[in-house]
Amino acid sequence: MTATDTNDIIVLSDVTKTFGTFQALKGINATIREGEFFSLLGPSGCGKTTLLRMIAGFDEPTTGAIEIDDKPMAGISANKRPTNMVFQSYAIFPHLSVAENVGYGLKTRKMPKTEIAAEVDKALEMVDLRGLGNRSAHELSGGQRQRVALARALVMKPKVILLDEPLSALDKKLRDQMQVELRSLQQSLGITFILVTHDQEEALIMSDRIAVMFEGEIAQLDSPEGLYRRPRTKRVASFIGVMNFLSAKLTREDAETLTIQIDALGEITVPRDIAPEGLTPSEVDAIGIRPEMLTVLMDDTDTAERTVEGSITGTSYYGDMTYYEVKLPGDGDPVTISMRNTAGRSVLPAGSKVSVGWGAESIVLFE
Amino acid sequence: MGVTLDKEARQGLTLLSPTALYALLMLAAPLAMVVTFSFWTQNYLDIDTTLTLDNYREAWSKPIYQVLMMRSLRISLMVTVVTVLLAFPIAYYLSFHVKKRKALWLFLITVPFWTSYLLRVFLWKVILGFNGVLNTALMQVGLIDEPLTFILYNSNAVVLTLAHAWAPFAILPIFVALEKIDRSLLEAAEDLGDGPVRRFFRITLPLAMPGVIASTLIVLIPTVGDFITPRLVGGTDGLMIANMIQIQFGKANNAPLGAALAISSMVIVAAISLVIYLVGKKMGGRTE
C-alpha B80/C-alpha B27 separation (Å) is 25
* E-strand stretches of chain A: 8-19, 22-33, 37-41, 63-68, 71-72, 83-86, 160-164, 192-197, 209-214, 217-222, 244-253, 257-262, 266-271, 286-289, 295-297, 306-317, 321-327, 335-340, 353-358, 364-365
User: Which are the contacts of A135, defined by CB distance < 8 A and separation ≥ 6?
Assistant: A97, A98
Cβ within 8 Å, pair A87-B194: no
**SS3 of residue A190 by DSSP:** coil
Measured from the Cβ of residue A345, the count of other Cβ atoms closer than 10 Å reads: 13
Query: Tell me: the pLDDT tens digits for A290-343?
Result: 999 999 988 777 777 888 999 999 999 999 999 999 999 888 899 999 999 988
In chain B, the domains with their CATH numbers are 69-182+209-284 (1.10.3720.10)
User: Which are the contacts of A150, defined by CB distance < 8 A and separation ≥ 6?
Assistant: A86, A127, A166, A182, A185
C-alpha B247/C-alpha B265 separation (Å) is 15
Identify the band that residue B287 occupies on the pLDDT scale cut at 50, 70 and 90: very low
pLDDT value at A219 more than 80: yes
pLDDT value at B238 more than 60: yes
Q: Residue A17's closest CA among A75, A57, A56, A59?
A: A59
What ipTM was assigned to the predicted interfaces of this complex? Answer: 0.85
Q: What pLDDT does residue B285 have?
A: 53
CATH 3.40.50.300 matches A8-229? yes
User: What's the whole-number average pLDDT of chain B?
Assistant: 89
Chain A interface test: which of B191, B199, B205, B209 (most A C-beta within 10 Å): B191
User: How many angstroms away from the CA of A128 is the closest CA of chain B?
Assistant: 22
C-alpha B94/C-alpha B91 separation (Å) is 5
Residues of A in contact with B182 (CB under 8 A): 89, 91
Share above pLDDT 90 across residues of chain B, in percent, rounded to a whole number: 48
Query: Tell me: the pLDDT tens digits for A259-293?
Result: 999 988 888 998 888 888 777 878 888 999 999 99
pLDDT value at B284 more than 70: no
C-alpha A187/C-alpha B220 separation (Å) is 58
CA angle A97, B206, B169 (to 5 degrees): 145
Q: A58: nearest CA in chain B?
A: B187
Q: Residue A341's closest CA among A357, A318, A325, A364?
A: A318
pLDDT value at A124 more than 90: yes
C-alpha A243/C-alpha A34 separation (Å) is 33
Asked if A173 has any chain B CB less than 8 Å from its own CB, the reply is no
Query: Tell me: the pLDDT tens digits for B25-69?
Result: 898 899 999 999 999 988 877 888 888 898 999 999 999 999 999
Containing A183, the helix (H) or strand (E) segment is helix A172-189
Cβ within 8 Å, pair A79-B185: no
Which of B5-14, B17-26, B204-213 is modeled with the greatest confidence? B204-213
Share above pLDDT 70 across residues of chain B, in percent, rounded to a whole number: 97
Domain locations in chain A as residue ranges? 8-229, 242-367
Max CA distance (Å), chain B: 77
Report the CATH fold assignment for A242-367.
OB fold (Dihydrolipoamide Acetyltransferase, E2P) (2.40.50)
Q: What pLDDT does residue B152 have?
A: 84
Share above pLDDT 90 across residues of chain A, in percent, rounded to a whole number: 75
C-alpha B103/C-alpha A351 separation (Å) is 64
Cβ within 8 Å, pair A91-B184: yes
Residues of B in contact with A109 (CB under 8 A): 193
Phi, psi (5° rounding) for residue B28?
A: -70, -40
C-alpha B244/C-alpha B106 separation (Å) is 37
**Residue type at position B144:** I
Identify the band that residue A59 occupies on the pLDDT scale cut at 50, 70 and 90: very high
Sequence length of chain B is: 288
Q: What pLDDT does residue A338 have?
A: 94
C-alpha A284/C-alpha A258 separation (Å) is 11
Q: What pLDDT does residue B143 have?
A: 86
pLDDT value at B286 more than 60: no
Asked if A95 has any chain B CB less than 8 Å from its own CB, the reply is yes
Query: Tell me: the pLDDT tens digits for B59-112?
Result: 999 999 999 999 999 999 999 999 999 999 999 999 999 988 888 998 888 887
Residues of B in contact with A104 (CB under 8 A): 189, 192, 202
Q: A78: nearest CA in chain B?
A: B191
Choose the weakest-confidence range: A177-191, A286-300, B273-287.
B273-287
Share above pLDDT 70 across residues of chain A, in percent, rounded to a whole number: 98
User: How many angstroms away from the CA of B30 is the closest CA of chain A?
Assistant: 41
pTM: 0.83
Q: What pLDDT does residue A367 have?
A: 83
pLDDT value at A209 more than 50: yes
Asked if A105 has any chain B CB less than 8 Å from its own CB, the reply is yes
C-alpha A41/C-alpha A198 separation (Å) is 5
Containing A272, the helix (H) or strand (E) segment is none
User: What's the whole-number average pLDDT of chain A?
Assistant: 91
